[in-house]
């Protein structure tokens, strides 16, 4: 059962992890660069200096110093599920396979939250714009997002000389509702087109929180802070899948059945502090 189930689980997680419509598909795949659950990259050194109308010779050569980057893949473990021998025999469906599917979906959700957190910028810079919402009071002491706010984010990307192609916006449900309430006609067109003002749109519930006072990203997993929508350029953010381990452990003496738990190695993050941004809900 163990070897067969391991094959089933691996195929399930690979088919469910990047489903149609998942924004994780937009990230640049670096699976081919994974070696022992680690990615080894090199950050290029400074660009060469350009001299215009030079009249001083010789031009002095300068070495470029590249910096090695080692990225270990994060480890995601699911707590085991207990399946009894009686359950497996008496249920009208394959409970082990059903459990595997549940674990795969849970891993994907957790990894997506981790990815959004890693991609979201730490704070505002010209290459990582973090803007506040500017709309009317939502009735809860916060300002709604407006279509103009998204236009301003697009302009900030332009001013930072960030790529035009492949811009993605992970719109929080609250911000999505704000836009619907602001202009239902424009909202419907936005949903039909799937994009707005250079950004391809996805709705995502797991965006990180931001400090409403400082505009800085809150610690990972923080339950407090401002609601945020995250933006990135797909060529500037990556994902990588490593090993997937999981098989049932037969525990007859104490459990009269099997324990199913799984481990997945995965990471998603920007290549550098460039081409990422956010809009967070400001206080009214």
Q: Are 278 and 228 in contact (CB under 8 A)?
A: yes
- Helices 184-193 and 173-182: crossing angle in degrees, nearest 10, is 130
Spell out the residues 6+ positions from residue 214 whose beta carbon is closer than 8 angstroms to its own.
Answer: 123
**Domain 125-237+274-280, architecture per CATH:** 2-Layer Sandwich (3.30)
**Distance between CA 195 and CA 178 in Å, rounded?**
16
Strands 276-280 and 130-132: parallel
Domain chopping of the chain, boundaries: 2-44+66-118+239-270, 125-237+274-280
Contacts of 238 (CB under 8 A, 6+ apart): 27, 28, 29, 30, 268, 269, 270, 271
Res. 262 pLDDT band, cuts 50 70 90: confident
pLDDT tens digits for range 32-87: 999 999 998 777 778 899 999 999 999 999 988 887 788 999 999 999 999 888 87
d(CA 281, CA 135): 9
pLDDT digits (tens, 9 = 90+) for 220-251: 999 999 999 999 999 999 999 999 887 778 88
pLDDT digits (tens, 9 = 90+) for 81-111: 998 888 776 676 677 778 888 998 999 999 9
Mean pLDDT, range 6-17, rounded to an integer: 76
DSSP 8-63: HHHHHHHHHHS-TT-GGGGSEE-GGGEETTEEEEEE--PPPP--SS--SSSPPP--
- Per-residue pLDDT, averaged over 274-279, amounts to 97
Three-state SS string over 161-184 comes to: CCCCCCEEEEECHHHHHHHHHHCH
pTM score of the predicted model: 0.86
Q: Is residue 44 within 8 Å of residue 219, measured between CB atoms?
A: no
Q: What is the DSSP letter of 91?
A: S
Strand-pairing partners, residue 74, are: 266
Note whether 162 and 125 are within 8 A (CB). Answer: no
Nearest Cα neighbor of 275 from 221, 199, 217 is: 199
- Token look-up 């067109």 returns 189
- Residue with the two structure tokens 């981790």: 114
For the cut 70, the answer to whether the pLDDT of residue 10 exceeds it is: yes
- Cβ pair 250, 258 in contact under 8 A: yes
The first and second tokens of residue 23, run together, are 């924004």
- What pLDDT does residue 104 have? 87
Query: Could you report the per-residue pLDDT of 113-164, keeping only the tens digit for each?
Result: 999 999 999 999 999 999 999 999 999 999 999 999 999 999 999 999 999 9
Q: Cα separation of 190 and 16, whole Å?
A: 27
pLDDT for 4 equals 60
pLDDT of residue 5: 63
The answer on pLDDT for 19 being more than 70 is: yes
Distance of CA 59 to the CA centre of its chain: 45
């Amino acid at each position: 059962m163990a070897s067969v189930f391991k094959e089933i689980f691996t195929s399930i997680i690979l088919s469910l992890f990047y489903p149609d419509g998942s924004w994780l598909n937009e990230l640049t795949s670096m699976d081919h660069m994974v070696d022992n659950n680690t990615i080894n990259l090199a950050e290029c050194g400074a660009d060469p200096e350009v001299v215009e109308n030079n009249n001083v010779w010789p031009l002095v050569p300068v070495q470029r110093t590249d910096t090695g980057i080692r990225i270990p893949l994060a480890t995601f473990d699911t707590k085991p599920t207990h399946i009894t021998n009686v359950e497996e025999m008496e249920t009208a469906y394959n409970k082990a396979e059903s459990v595997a599917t549940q674990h795969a979906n849970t891993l994907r959700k957790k990894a997506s939250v981790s990815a959004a957190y890693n991609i979201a910028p730490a704070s505002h810079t010209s290459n990582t714009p973090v803007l506040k919402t500017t709309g009317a009071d939502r009735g809860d002491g916060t300002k709604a997002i407006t279509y103009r706010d998204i236009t301003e984010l697009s302009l900030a990307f332009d001013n930072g000389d960030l790529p035009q192609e492949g811009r993605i916006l992970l719109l929080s449900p609250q911000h999505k509702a704000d836009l619907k309430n602001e202009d239902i006609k424009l909202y419907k067109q936005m949903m039909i087109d799937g994009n707005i003002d250079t950004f391809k749109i996805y709705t995502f519930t797991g965006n990180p929180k931001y400090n409403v006072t400082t505009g800085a990203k809150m610690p990972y997993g923080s339950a407090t802070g401002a609601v945020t929508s995250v933006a990135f350029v797909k060529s500037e953010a990556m994902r990588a899948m490593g090993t997937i381990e999981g098989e049932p452990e037969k525990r007859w003496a104490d459990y009269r059945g099997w324990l199913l738990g799984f481990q997945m190695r995965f990471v998603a993050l920007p290549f550098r502090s460039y081409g990422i941004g956010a809009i967070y809900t400001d206080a009214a």
